[in-house]
Chains A and B, each alone.
Chain A
Amino acid sequence: MAVDEGLKIELGKQGVFVTTLQELYNWGRRSSVWPMNFGLACCAIEMIATTMARYDLARFGAEVFRPSPRQADLMIISGTVTKKMAPQVVRLYNQMGEPRYVIAMGACAISGGPFKQGYNVLKGIDRYIPVDVHIPGCPPRPEALLEAFMTLQKKIDAQHLTGEERPRHLDAEAPGMFPVPEQGEHDLEPPANKNVWTVPVVIR
């Protein structure tokens, strides 16, 4: 049940703080997103810069980079995902605890970027795992990563605890396992996870 915004502000002026369980829950979630200590390519350098004093990701409660997927909430795909690395990325994603979020950072993580024509480069990590925020750029500046992080926080803030629109991690029916692709003869098998990504139809 939502509290009327005007009433909330009015009560706040009188020193009464009103909130809902959902707001409290989401506030806790978004203020302590711990990213995984995981860098793939040059975008990772920008990711590191984002955590340092000048850009200071700590302002958003996300300075605690965890070296283990079991302690991490957010996976920042920072760089080119080669077909050799993709199974490892998906495997690590599967090992993260719920709720888990993914930021695809940079052109490579989104679509393969400048290496899209390469035989060994995955054309976007969203073929295998659900991505929450995409950031364009090659590499994106730390400000762009901060923007993506704030976008993710807004997304978490808008999540419902119950009902049809509740997020994946609160839905007992939603899948918790995303199949890890294997190296086939010419390509990864399967080339994409059908439940996450569908082949776009080119209309000529």
Chain B
Amino acid sequence: MASNPYFSLAVLFVGALGFGLAPLALAWVWAKVFSPSKPNALKNAVYECGLESKGDAWVQYRSGYYLYAIIFLIFDVEAVFLLPFAVAFTGLGLAASLSMLVFVLLLVEGLAWAWAKGVLTWA
């Protein structure tokens, strides 16, 4: 067996395995045998915090909030494009102005739709 050319590799492999596993085993033995364990109800609680956990972790949010997110996005994107538009306004040609108008109108249409649906009324 020792004459096998891969024998030294096998020895190194076992050594490497031991190098990794020995500290883990030592830590396990230390925790099981020597560590001063004093469990109590608070220490064994699921979540460590100064306050007691209340309610369920599976909190549900109103699906209606996604509308607010979308409307925010409309205004957000609009602002990003309006600023350079306003800066370059005097130097713009007809085509650029028209395409910007279409863009703004599309967003306005979205806003009008949301308004008509009553999304803007905070309830």
Interface members, chain A 32-69 (any B CB < 8 Å): 68-69
Inter-subunit contact B36/A177 (CB<8 Å): no
* Complex-state Cα separation, A87 to B39, whole angstroms: 19
Q: A92-B50, A95-B45 are in contact. Are A169 and B40 (CB under 8 A)?
A: no
Give every chain A residue within 8 A of B43 (Cβ-Cβ).
70, 94-97, 176
* Complex-state Cα separation, A95 to B35, whole angstroms: 16
Q: Which of A68, A88, A169, A180 contacts B38 (CB 8 A)?
A: A169
Inter-subunit contact B38/A176 (CB<8 Å): yes
Inter-subunit contact B50/A177 (CB<8 Å): no
Q: Write the nearest CB–CB distance from B99 to chain A, whole angstroms.
A: 52
Q: How would you classify the secondary structure of chain A's contact residues: helix, strand, loop or mixed?
A: helix
Q: Write the nearest CB–CB distance from A60 to chain B, whole angstroms.
A: 22
What is the number of residues of chain B that contact chain A, defined by CB distance less than 8 Å? 15
* Complex-state Cα separation, A125 to B52, whole angstroms: 20
Q: Is A150's beta carbon under 8 Å from chain B?
A: no
Inter-subunit contact B50/A176 (CB<8 Å): no
* Complex-state Cα separation, A170 to B50, whole angstroms: 26
Q: A94-B42, A169-B38, A176-B39 are in contact. Are A88 and B51 (CB under 8 A)?
A: yes
Q: Is A89's beta carbon under 8 Å from chain B?
A: yes
Task: Give B35's nearest chain A residue, CB to CB.
Answer: A98
Inter-subunit contact A99/B40 (CB<8 Å): no
Q: Is B37's beta carbon under 8 Å from chain A?
A: yes
Q: Is A91's beta carbon under 8 Å from chain B?
A: yes
Interface members, chain B 27-78 (any A CB < 8 Å): 35-43, 45, 48-52
Q: Write the nearest CB–CB distance from B45 to chain A, whole angstroms.
A: 7
Give every chain A residue within 8 A of B45 (Cβ-Cβ).
95
Task: Give A70's nearest chain B residue, CB to CB.
Answer: B48
Q: Write the nearest CB–CB distance from A172 to chain B, whole angstroms.
A: 8
Inter-subunit contact B41/A69 (CB<8 Å): no
Q: Which of B37, B49, B50, B51 contacts A98 (CB 8 A)?
A: B37
Q: Residues of A with Cβ closer than 8 Å to B? A: 68-70, 87-89, 91-92, 94-99, 169-170, 174, 176-177, 180
Q: Residues of B with Cβ closer than 8 Å to A? A: 35-43, 45, 48-52
Top-7 shortest CB links A-B: A176-B38, A88-B50, A177-B40, A169-B36, A94-B42, A98-B36, A95-B48
5 contacts between A and B (CB under 8 A): A92-B49, A92-B50, A95-B43, A170-B36, A180-B42
Name 10 extra pairs, CB < 8 A, besides A91-B49, A98-B38, A176-B38: A70-B48, A91-B52, A94-B40, A94-B42, A95-B43, A98-B35, A98-B36, A169-B36, A170-B36, A177-B42
